[in-house]
Every structure is written in C-alpha cells, then in structure tokens.
Amino acid sequence: MMRGMRNGYLDLIRVVGTIAIVLGHIQALAPVPALVYPWHVPIFFVLSGWLWREGRDLLSEIRGRARTLLLPYVTWFVVVSVGYAVVLATRGDDQKEKVEEQLPGGAHAVEPYSAFWFITALFVAVVLIRAMERVGIPLWAQVLIGVVACVLVQVFDDIAIQSPFAIAQGAGCVIFVHAGMLLRRVGSHAGWSAGALVTGIVLAALPWSEAMDLKYIDYGTPALGILAAVLICAGLVLAPVHIGGDWARRISALAQTGFAVILLHALFVWLDLGPTWVVAATSLVVPWAVGLLLARTRLGPAFGCSRPAGSTSTRSPGRRPGAGGDLRAGPAPRR
C-alpha cells in the first residue's frame, strides 16, 4: 500500500463501532446491547494505539487532543443541554437542576449525556501514555503500569466511579490503547485475525462471562472480560483488508462525522419518539446527517466533524488528515 494512503477499512471499523455504541444504548433492542458491549467502546481505544505515533511531545499531545476531543465535548455538551432543557421545560420539570447534575461528566452524566464520559476517558488515556513515553518509560513497563491502574480502579471502584470527567475510567482504559500498540507490532494477518475474533467471541459468549460497562468501572468477569474485548478488537484491526477509492471516501465521510452521532444520539434515545426501530433509526440518521452538514462548514472542527482528505473543506492547510483525533482514522499503518 502506498505510504499515506488512507485505508477505508479502519474508518469502517469506526463506523461499525459508532453504530454499536448507539444500538447498545437502546435496551429494547435486546440482545443487541449484550452482543456489542464486550467490544464497542474498547475498539476506539485499541484503534488509538494502532494509530499511535511515537515522538510527539507532551504539550503538543495535550493541545492536539484538547482541540479534537475536549472542544467538541464542550460544544456538544452545550447543544445537548439546550435541547434537554427545552424538553424539560415543556414537561414542567426543573431543567436547571437536572442539567447541572451532568456537569461533572463521567459516570455522573446519564441520558441524554450517556456517551460523554468516553471522550474525556480517551483524552486521559492517551495523555497518560504520552507522558509515560516522554519520561522514557519503556513500553513493557507502560503495559505493567496500565495493568496496575486497571486493577486499582476496579478494587477501589466505589471511589473511582466518582472521579469527575471519567479520569479513573481513562486510567483503567490505558490497557486497551497499549493493546492496540502491541497489535500493530504483530501487523495485519488473516490467520491471527480470524483466530482472535473467533476466540474472543467464544469467550464473551461463555455462560459465566459478563460483559463490561467501562463507564461504571465494571470490567465484567475478572480478566475474562478484558481478554475477550482485546481478542475481538484484535480480530477486527488485524484483518488484512484495504478499502480504497470512492468507497473509502464515503466511509471516511461517515467516520469523520461520527462524533456527532456518539454525543448526540442519546438525546434521541431519551426522547423515545416511537417504536424501537424508529428510535434506533432516528438516533443514527439524524445525528449523522447533522454531522455531515457541519463538516461542510467552518464550524465543523468545533463539533469534531471534518471532511475526508481530498474533498473541498475548510481544514487548515498542511494539517494531516485525522491528526490528533481518535474518532477519525489517520493514515493507515503500512501493511
């Protein structure tokens, strides 16, 4: 594959992961939530590790992630809060108090803010890894520290779950970013991909295997839940698949506007506008349409929405597609 060519397959994984996050929040779609919870959030952390670029300084990392993660977090928080407050007002509820309850983020934020914790947790995880990298901690030691952090947040889950902006959740998810970094060293391989995917699905399907809910520091069956998640994610990212051409551009357009879906969909789930299939369709189609429209404007970056490389956009000259963002895939690793 040519250096720098964008692989639409990595974007496809993001699109599938985004759809899984939405469907996972619609309990009436059972058993779909149970099928996606073992992997639908870990895959984004794993992809961050798979696309990791060494050598970036800590300050640049913080600035880049703040621009691509925290800025859209704040923007969408305001948008969702306005919509939430308006609906509450029409119902005669005290909207100010209910909106203020969501401000600490993390596990404190519930519908219609269900997925906001994920953004700050991702920020914490990647910044922690960059900090460890910059002080010269080797990868093997970083992995060990990540495992210890994961154990600690589970042992002291009653304290960790109270952390604002999902700080503890982010520390616990460092292991998934490291998993992505290690998987990249393995490289794409059909056999490893199929074996990991099948094994992960089997482990997740065992009668005594409980799915994870990372937002609430619930890692499922000890060790087994994490192993199943890593194996399923490995099966996805190790697949030797390349998608190019028009299909890659179409898929990338969806992937690079997925931020709108992740942070806006819970508002439509909460509104519960009709039968389950209507709620599911509305929660996917409306936010994605909004994201695609925003990507065509100068406001797009503030909402985490951008257009694929090669299309006319307002992206600043010289900015590498996908740089600094974890909801949009950057140039694929050489295969």
For residues 179 and 230, the answer to whether their CB atoms sit within 8 Å is yes
For residues 49 and 43, the answer to whether their CB atoms sit within 8 Å is no
Q: Quote the CA–CA distance of 295 and 184 in Å, as a whole number.
A: 30
* Confidence band for 89, pLDDT divided at 50, 70 and 90: confident
**Cis previous bond, 112, omega within 30:** yes
Q: What is the pLDDT of residues 154-181, one digit of tens each?
A: 999 999 999 999 999 999 999 999 999 9
For 14, 111, 143, 240, 244, the CA distances from 329, given in Å and listed in that order, are 8, 27, 23, 16, 14
Q: Quote the CA–CA distance of 335 and 14 in Å, as a whole number.
A: 19
Three-state SS for 10? helix
82 has a pLDDT exceeding 60: yes
State in Å, rounded, how far the first CA of the chain is from the last one.
7
Three-state SS for 328? coil
Two structure tokens written together for 203: 């482990």
Q: Quote the CA–CA distance of 312 and 224 in Å, as a whole number.
A: 46
For residues 6 and 328, the answer to whether their CB atoms sit within 8 Å is no
Of 67, 16, 39, 75, give the one whose Cα is nearest residue 255: 16
Q: What is the pLDDT of residues 273-294, one digit of tens each?
A: 899 999 999 999 999 999 999 9
- 223 Rama sector, left if φ>0, alpha if ψ -120 to 50, beta otherwise: left
Instruction: Identify the bridge partners of residue 213 per DSSP, sorted by sequence position.
Output: 218
* Confidence band for 310, pLDDT divided at 50, 70 and 90: low
Q: Which residues contact 144 (CB under 8 A, 6 or more apart)?
A: none
Q: What is the pLDDT of residues 34-74, one digit of tens each?
A: 999 999 999 999 999 999 999 899 999 999 999 999 999 99
Two structure tokens written together for 225: 């839940």
Supply the pTM of this predicted model: 0.90
The residue type of 112 is: P
Two structure tokens written together for 100: 């203020």
Long-range contacts at 112-116 (CB < 8 A, ≥ 24 apart): 112/80, 112/83, 112/84, 112/266, 112/267, 112/269, 112/270, 112/271, 113/77, 113/80, 113/266, 114/25, 114/266, 114/269, 115/21, 115/25, 115/262, 115/263, 115/265, 115/266, 116/73, 116/76, 116/77, 116/263
Long-range contacts at 81-88 (CB < 8 A, ≥ 24 apart): 83/112, 83/267, 84/112, 84/267, 84/270, 87/271
Q: What is the pLDDT of residues 220-262, one digit of tens each?
A: 999 999 999 999 999 999 999 999 999 999 999 999 999 999 9
Q: What is the pLDDT of residues 170-214, one digit of tens each?
A: 999 999 999 999 999 999 999 999 999 999 999 999 999 988 899
